[in-house]
């Protein structure tokens, strides 16, 4: 009934870690996808808040890019909310989506996973 995200952000020579736990039942029903959505929005919001004009988002769940770009239908409230968020900020931020294979030894993807687990209290 809970989900979380972890994000590793590199900017201005610094590395920052973010994580957060949520308990929205509708989003939690989407399981790990809910965390992927929240993590992507966290990274984008960080850029908007800091006046950063572009970001490369490394992700391991295909929907993160496809929902944002309108390549997949947004059928659930969580995916609709994500697409609406992306559309709202897309004039302020140029987002490049970069797919990485999950659980494949990508150090920063593994860090993000650990941060998400720690937020849930399972690591």
pLDDT of residue 88: 98
Number of Cα atoms under 13 Å in the Cβ half of residue 118: 11
The owner of tokens 């993807």 is: 109
User: Is the Cβ–Cβ distance between 98 and 58 less than 8 Å?
Assistant: yes
pLDDT of residue 32: 86
Bridge partners of 56, per DSSP, are: 96
How far apart, in whole angstroms, are the C-alpha atoms of residue 41 and residue 89? 10
pLDDT tier for residue 104 given thresholds of 50, 70 and 90 = confident
| pLDDT tens per residue across span 25-74 | 999 999 889 999 999 999 999 999 999 999 999 998 999 999 999 999 99
Structure tokens given for 103:
């659980």
pLDDT of residue 102: 74
How far apart, in whole angstroms, are the C-alpha atoms of residue 117 and residue 123? 5
Per DSSP, which regions of the chain are E strands?
Answer: 3-11, 14-22, 54-59, 94-99
On the 0-12 / 13-18 / 19+ scale of CB atoms within 10 A, 35 is buried
> In whole numbers, what is the pLDDT of the chain averaged over residues?
94
């Amino acid at each position: 009934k809970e989900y979380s995200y972890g994000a590793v952000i590199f900017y201005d020579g610094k590395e920052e870690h973010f994580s957060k736990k949520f308990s929205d039942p509708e989003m939690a029903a989407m399981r790990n996808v809910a965390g992927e959505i929240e993590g992507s929005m966290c990274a984008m919001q960080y850029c908007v808040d800091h006046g950063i004009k572009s970001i490369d988002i490394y992700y391991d769940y295909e929907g993160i890019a496809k929902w944002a770009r309108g390549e997949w239908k947004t059928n659930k409230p969580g995916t609709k909310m994500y697409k609406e968020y992306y559309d709202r900020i897309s004039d302020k931020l140029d987002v490049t989506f970069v797919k990485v294979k999950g659980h494949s030894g990508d150090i920063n993807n593994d860090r993000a996973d650990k941060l998400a687990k720690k937020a849930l209290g399972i690591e």
